[in-house]
Amino acid sequence: MHRKLRFGMIGGGRGGFIGAVHRIAAQMDAQAELVAGAFSSDPKRSRASGRDFYLDPTRVYGSYGEMARAEAAQPRERRLDFIVIVTPNHEHFRPAKLFLELGFNVVCDKPVAFDLTEAKALRALVAKTGKVFVLTHNYTGNAMVRQARQLVRAGKLGVIRKVVAEYPQGWLATRLEATRHKQASWKTDPKRCGASGCLGDIGTHAENLIRFVTGLEIDELCADLTTFVQGRRLEDDGNVILRFKDGARGVLQASQICIGEENALTLRVYGTKASIEWQQEQPNELIMKFADRPRQVWRRGNGYLHAEAVRHTRVPGGHPEGYLEAFGNIYREAFRAIRAEVSGRRPPRDVCFPTISDGVSGM
């Protein structure tokens, strides 16, 4: 198939943060083109966003239902190859279900759904339709996260004993939602966000990072959830003790009231031979520590890295890569699977991106 993939977007219009990130990431490698969308539940705002993106106005819609009906009727040479869902959590399930049933591949922002019941229903539907479903836990696209995963797989850390994942932020240390701040308003609203605030928003990233790097599955947990900001309806701080199925132990903490913190996602994995540490705010480095010799600092862009890390490196060493590039790497991996599906082939065996199974695990 010698053409760009065509995609449509649900949500992500004017004033939205994550929609812009997805558009940049999806078009970073010039493999895909945005051609349609329902960018807001407000038809006027959706049409205005379509003009911002220079889209054909006949393919800009006032609702995802209208979009689904019209796009399903498009001829083969104009049909969308996938859709991207970047709405608040309560509007993930219904458009994903509708477009999957109509034969479209789906890319969805995290968390995958409003609740576990919806997540499991989507998993069953993905299995039934055979379509590609991508969940954008973007941090797993970072080259040094891929390197960390390979070190664990190769046994360089020995048997994993303990994992510590933390994601402190400070942006909700005050009742920002009372100022009509768009993101704060829906991320603290149980009707749109779901049963969890902080853990659902960023704790799921920490859980997914643990799962991706170590392969460990949570068996039991004990959580202490707190709402510190008076008047807020969902927790803004969470501390979770973890027991994994193979006997390892862990701690996951996520908070959005840590004043001075920005996006300090950090993963530490402790084994019987060595340990590793990766910090999202210093994404180009992976630290490896030993009991009997100095620590090592692995740097992105060097030839000593595993082939999987090299494959997810975009520019030479010394030129920093981070959030957007990792997002782009998730999309680039997804395109390998989507392009195969559209062409009637099986996806490459080495394709690697977060799937519906990761979404169910997170929920």
pLDDT above 90 (res 1): no
Residue-level pLDDT at 312: 95
Q: Give dist(CA 208, CA 225) in Å, integer.
A: 19
Tell me: do 131 and 146 sit in the same domain.
no
Question: Going by DSSP bridges, is the β-strand pair 5-11/274-279 parallel, antiparallel, or unpaired?
Answer: unpaired
Output the domain CATH number for residue 63.
3.40.50.720
Average confidence (pLDDT) over 213-242: 97
| 196 and 59 within one domain | no
The arithmetic mean of pLDDT across residues 106-135, rounded, is 97
Contact call for residues 61 and 72 (beta carbons, < 8 A):
no
Coil vs helix vs strand at 143 = helix
Q: Which domain holds residue 122?
A: 5-139+325-362
* Residues β-bridged to residue 272: none
Whether the per-residue pLDDT at 213 is higher than 90: the answer is yes
* In the chain, % of residues over pLDDT 70: 100
Q: What is the CATH number of the domain that holds 145?
A: 3.30.360.10
86 pLDDT exceeds 80? yes
- Which residue(s) pair with 279 in the sheet? 266
225 and 350 inside one domain: no
For residues 311 and 255, state if they share a domain. yes
Q: What is the pLDDT of residues 147-182, one digit of tens each?
A: 999 999 999 999 999 999 999 999 999 999 999 999
Give pLDDT tens digits for 306-316: 999 999 999 99
User: Are residues 191 and 312 both part of a single domain?
Assistant: yes
Q: What is the pLDDT of residue 238?
A: 98
What confidence tens digit (pLDDT) does each residue in 7-60 have?
999 999 998 899 999 999 999 999 999 999 999 999 999 999 999 999 999 999
Domain identity same for 259 and 226: yes
Q: How many domains does the chain have?
A: 2
Asked if 219 and 277 sit in the same domain, the reply is yes
Q: To 10 degrees, the CA torsion angle through 13, 66, 107, 183?
A: 30
Q: Is the pLDDT of residue 2 over 90?
A: no
Share the mean pLDDT of the chain.
Answer: 97
Radius of gyration of the chain (CA): 20
Same domain, 132 and 150: no
Do 305 and 173 share a structural domain?
A: yes
pLDDT at position 16, please? 85
- Asked if 69 and 187 sit in the same domain, the reply is no
Q: Look up the pTM and report it.
A: 0.95
Clarify whether residues 145 and 130 are in a common domain.
Answer: no
User: Are 215 and 258 members of one domain?
Assistant: yes
